């Protein structure tokens, strides 16, 4: 990265104009991963019930160009940048687009339950920052667990 084109992190949310099924999400991810690799953009995408939250990392000009394209994409509406900040080191250096589908919490969740995904729409900068940190940690833990080798009972007596 150069001083003229520093590394940034940008978080946005949007609503899908139509619900995305597994096939549509798979197609979106395949194209996004290929294009992000070409642009040196990394990040993660979360999807739940027609709502997207995405973190993009990369050179400022590339991230801004991609955001302009996302803003014009007819599959989204209510596209809002939640946070844009300088980045000294990538958090998702291995992922051209890490992905997790989320399931909405059950209405009968116990008192005191807080939904980090919903916190992103609150508009409060501190709340958004905390929610992003929580979702990033959650994502990393799930991604790490999915890469762990599964122990086998084969050969045990």
What is the model's pLDDT at position 157? 42
Q: Name the one residue in this structure whose structure tokens are 């807080």.
A: 114
Q: What is the pLDDT of residue 65?
A: 94
Q: pLDDT class for 45, splitting at 50, 70, 90?
A: confident
Looking at residue 155, its pLDDT comes to 46
Name the pTM for this structure.
Answer: 0.70
- DSSP, res 148: S
- Given a cut of 90, is residue 59 above it in pLDDT? yes
Q: Are 116 and 135 in contact (CB under 8 A)?
A: yes
Q: Concatenated DSSP letters for 51-112? A: EEEEEEEEEHHHHHHHHHHHHH-TTEEEEEEEEEEE-SS-S-TT-SSEEEE--PPPTTPPTT
Measure the CA–CA gap between 3 and 83, rounded to whole angstroms: 20
Distances (CA, A) of 136 to 26, 82, 117, 131: 21, 15, 11, 8
Q: Which residue has the higher pLDDT, 47 or 139?
A: 47
pLDDT average, residue stretch 141-154: 54
Mean pLDDT of 70-81: 92
* Rounded-to-integer distance, Cα 144 and Cα 86, Å: 26
Residue 55 banded pLDDT, cuts 50, 70, 90: confident
Question: How do residues 81-135 score in pLDDT, each as one tens digit?
Answer: 988 989 998 887 776 555 555 554 455 545 544 455 666 665 666 767 777 777 7
Sheet holding 51-59, edge to edge: 76-86, 7-16, 51-59, 42-48, 98-101
Query: What gap in Å lies between CA 128 and CA 96, rounded to an integer?
Result: 23
């Amino acid at each position: 990265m150069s001083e003229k084109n520093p590394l940034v992190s940008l978080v946005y949310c949007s609503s899908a104009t139509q619900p995305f099924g597994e096939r549509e999400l798979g197609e979106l991810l395949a194209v996004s991963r290929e294009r992000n690799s070409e642009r040196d953009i990394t990040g993660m995408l979360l999807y739940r019930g027609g709502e997207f939250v995405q973190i993009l990392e990369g050179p400022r000009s590339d991230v801004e160009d991609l955001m302009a394209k996302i803003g014009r994409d007819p599959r989204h509406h209510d596209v809002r940048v939640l946070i844009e900040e300088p980045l000294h080191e990538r958090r998702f250096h291995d992922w051209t687009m890490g992905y997790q589908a989320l399931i909405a919490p059950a209405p009968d969740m116990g008192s005191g339950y807080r939904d980090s995904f919903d916190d992103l729409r609150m508009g409060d900068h501190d709340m958004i920052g905390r929610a992003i940190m929580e979702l990033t940690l959650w994502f990393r833990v799930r991604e790490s667990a999915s890469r762990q080798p599964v122990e086998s009972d084969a050969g045990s007596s």
